[in-house]
Amino acid sequence: MMNIESDILQITDWFPEIKTSHFIIAGPCAAESREQLLETAEKIAAQTSVKFFRAGLWKPRTRPDSFEGVGEKALPWLQEVKQKTGLYTCVEVAMPQHVEACLKYGIDVLWLGARTTANPFSVQEIAETLKGTGIPVLIKNPVNPDIELWIGAVERLYKSGIKKIGAVLRGFYPYERTILRNIPKWELAIEMKHRIHSLPVLCDASHIAGNVSYIPEICQKALDLNFDGLMLETHINPKAALSDAMQQLTPNELELLISGLCFRKPSVSDPVFNNLLEQYRDQIDSIDLQMLDLLGERMKIVREIGKYKSKNNVTILQLRRWEKIIATRSEYGNKAGLSYDFIKNLLELVHKESIQIQTKIMSNPGL
């Protein structure tokens, strides 16, 4: 992975004239008419602290007869939005022609959608078109949970000279029905920050939720995980929206949502707080090392069992034994305050490693 850490600008440096610690983008899923854009933008500007207005002009839809946006004719409407409200404008682009049109009309921020991020050829074409522009670009996660594809899109834009780059977690396609439209997989956004510390990460709560009733909880979770901002679909009349009506807030709902969120600090300068926190962390460090030592001892016994099975020509998987482990450990762990899902996931990881160790022994009895 290329070293891009030091060159990516913090999101607070993208527009220094805006004094805010969190980057909140709001606006309709799709631009439908001049009146709809202006009414929505004017309400957002008047009622909230939001400084960035989003609108989809070109909508990549799953089915061909779905509303696909009004296209380039909405760009003058967005210019008018900016002139009348002072809001900065943000638009999704999926091909070089979109980029060129947005640059012509002075759009302030671009973003790549999930389907575009999933296609390295499309990302590269857009990156080539963006050379020398310096415009901020947000990159939504790909449809499937492939972090290398997501990071690859960041790298392609970076190589084209874009330093104002951010990632947006909009969730991943669920292969089974869930209450949410997309599965958040928060751990992948955290891994993005781990790989590129300076990379701003926002949360598209609307696309994760799929329904406005889940948006507040998702927003708060993102803020608690130290995300740099939020993307929220907001429509003057969601019931009349031509796309994604269920996940769009009204400006009034947006105002209530933002006022009800708790914007926490990543750190404090209070020495009493920091000293106590460090004591707790020291305890966790000690427990973690003990846990790893115990896992190491467990795997030593697994190797001995593997040799014994190999010598006596016995299969690696002992289903009844595995079922007994799941049942007894789940009950024991739950009494210790651990959730059944966590216990099951942990045991499955340990069991997988045990099987891999014993498989190697079966293949190479001399190990």
Q: Minimal CA–CA distance to 310: which of 362, 348, 270, 258?
A: 362
> Per residue of the chain (367 residues), what is the pLDDT tens digit?
566 766 899 998 999 898 887 899 999 999 999 999 999 999 999 999 999 999 999 977 566 666 667 999 999 999 999 999 999 999 999 999 999 999 999 999 999 999 999 999 999 999 999 999 999 999 999 999 999 999 999 999 999 999 999 999 999 998 878 899 999 999 999 999 999 999 999 999 999 999 999 999 999 999 999 999 999 999 999 999 999 999 999 999 999 999 999 998 888 888 898 899 999 999 999 999 999 999 999 999 999 999 999 999 999 999 999 999 999 999 999 999 999 999 999 999 999 999 999 999 999 876 6
Which structure tokens are listed for 330?
A: 């789940």
Residue labelled with tokens 């809001």: 87
Alpha-carbon distance of 101 to 124, in angstroms, equals 18
Give the bridge partners for 129, in sequence order.
none
pTM of the model: 0.84
Three-class secondary structure of residue 68 per DSSP: coil
Q: Minimal CA–CA distance to 207: which of 227, 191, 230, 237?
A: 230
Residue labelled with tokens 């427990």: 287
Q: Where in the chain is the domain with CATH 3.20.20.70?
A: 11-260
11-260 CATH pick, 3.40.50.10860, 3.90.1150.10, 3.30.930.10, 3.20.20.70: 3.20.20.70
Looking at domain 271-363, its CATH class is: mainly alpha
CA angle 165, 169, 172 (to 5 degrees): 135
126-164 in b/e burial notation, b at 16+ Cβ within 10 A?
Answer: bbebbeebebbbbbbbbbeeebebbbbbbbbbbebebbb
Which structure tokens are listed for 218?
A: 């998702």
Q: What is the DSSP string of 176-243?
A: S--SSSSB--HHHHHHHHHHSTT--EEEEHHHHHSSGGGHHHHHHHHHHTT-SEEEEEB-S-GGG-SS
Angle between helices 75-85 and 96-104 (to 10 degrees): 40
Q: Where in the chain is the domain with CATH 1.20.59.10?
A: 271-363
Residue 364: how many CB atoms within 10 A of its CB?
9
Residue labelled with tokens 């929505």: 40
